[in-house]
Amino acid sequence: MNSDLQRIIDLMKNSNNTVVVTGAGISTEAGIPDFRGENGIYRQLGEDQVMEIINIDYFRNFPDKFYSFYREHFNYPEVAPSDARYALADLEQHGYVKNIVTQNIDNLHQKAGSKNVIPIHGNAERFKCLGRRCGKLYDKQYFLDSVEQVPKCSECGSILKPDVILFGENIYSYMDAADSIMSAQLLIVIGSSLTVYPLAGFVNHFCILTQDLVIINRGSTALDHSAQVKLDTTGTTTSEILTEICNQLGIDSF
């Protein structure tokens, strides 16, 4: 067995509070393109244009244009969780992972069975009524079934907004994510280059306080120098790595 993999397993056995941070890399394995990846919309349309449209001010001023863009570029077909997501759910169930802080909006951790998930950028599977006294939540199917270009609340008639953080909005789970990361004994970062803030800042601050950082990622990250273990997934997959970790810990994963 790979010596780095064994070191990760030993760290997990000795940790009473392991927190996992996941980025786009764990979702690309499931078939969801990374914004910044080769097939991502930043490459296709240009980062400036995308950031202008998926902005809270643009949404408020041009909801019809926003939803036209959203339906074309964010309405992914039904995607099943990868084996990596199921492995993380099993690790949580067996007490090896306390919770997951994710940058992803695809809801796949929850679909795989993880219970303690902090989606810092929101959940694209939900839509929220913007009515001041309403705030009702709807699932994605309601949005897909809507005959209107801009979906409306069935209760009060107000506009629905995807329950994700748009540019210009505050991250409502900011403190939950920060508290979770800073209280960890062991932090495992999976599929993130650690360049997007505020999450990268949380991880960087964690490194100042402790050395128990593990990074599992394809290619380099901004904090490789701070990691106790850096495992590059080039030539393998996160699913294979996490499944092997489960096997070595005696967990019959999925």
CA 154 to chain centre: 29
CA–CA separation, 177 vs 200, rounded Å?
A: 11
CA–CA separation, 89 vs 224, rounded Å?
A: 26
Please answer whether residues 70 and 237 qualify as being in contact, where contact means their C-beta atoms are separated by less than 8 angstroms.
Answer: no
245 secondary structure, DSSP code: H
Q: Determine whether 121 is an active site residue.
A: yes
Q: 207 a known binding residue? A: no
Best CA proximity match to 13, nearest among 181, 249, 253: 249
Contacts of 211 (CB under 8 A, 6+ apart): 226, 228
Best CA proximity match to 213, nearest among 222, 224, 200, 199: 224
- Interstrand relation of 186-190 and 18-22 (parallel, antiparallel or unpaired): parallel
Q: 246 a known binding residue? A: no
Amino acid 141 reads: Q
Best CA proximity match to 131, nearest among 87, 103, 161, 101: 161
CA–CA separation, 109 vs 100, rounded Å?
A: 8
Please answer whether residues 103 and 121 qualify as being in contact, where contact means their C-beta atoms are separated by less than 8 angstroms.
Answer: yes
CA–CA separation, 198 vs 103, rounded Å?
A: 10
Among 73, 94, 109, 121, the one annotated catalytic: 121
| Known binding residues for Zn(2+) | 129, 134, 153, 156
Active site residues: 121
